[in-house]
Amino acid sequence: MACKKQTVPFAGTPEQEAQLKAVIAELKDQPGSLMPVMQKAQDIYGYLPIEVQTMISDEMGIPLEKVYGVSTFYAQFALQPKGKYKISVCLGTACYVKGSGDIFSKLEELLGITNGECTADGKFSLDSCRCVGACGLAPVMMINGEVYGRLTVDDVPGILAKYN
């Protein structure tokens, strides 16, 4: 089932903007400072929406295309916010052959989001990963670090209900 793209409105505060501008002022004249500024920005905001990338671009005098290119190239940067409850489904070999793909699809269906997205209410975000080191419990998903193993598709609604 295809998911409708969800967007969460940018909710940056003046305090966060001041904090980011202070970081940029401190680092911008140092060679190679774009990555550290972007890392600090993500620490401040939790992710790098286009509004934050634009601030970095404007304050550092770097084209927005370059900032965006770096933010999309490196996996450490998130362009979507993470939810209060961070769901990660293992799609590594052991989990996948035991049905984690179906579990991931069920989560997409129930939440109306797909990989890397966050529900509009900011409650859940959904990500895939390659291994959580619990192959004996396959298939596995985690919610905020709590591991759920030996899952079936029928287990998913009940697990989500615990977080409502």
Residues 6+ apart with CB under 8 A from 15: none
16 within 8 A of 128, measured Cβ to Cβ = no
Between CA 49 and CA 12 the distance in angstroms is: 10
In 10 A of CB 78, how many CB atoms? 18
Which residues does the annotation place in the binding site? 90, 95, 131, 135
Q: Does residue 70 contact residue 77 with C-beta atoms inside 8 Å?
A: yes
Neighbour count for residue 161 (Cβ, 10 Å):
8
* 3-class SS of residue 86: strand
d(C-alpha 110, C-alpha 113), whole Å? 8
Q: Which residues are annotated as a binding site for [2Fe-2S] cluster?
A: 90, 95, 131, 135
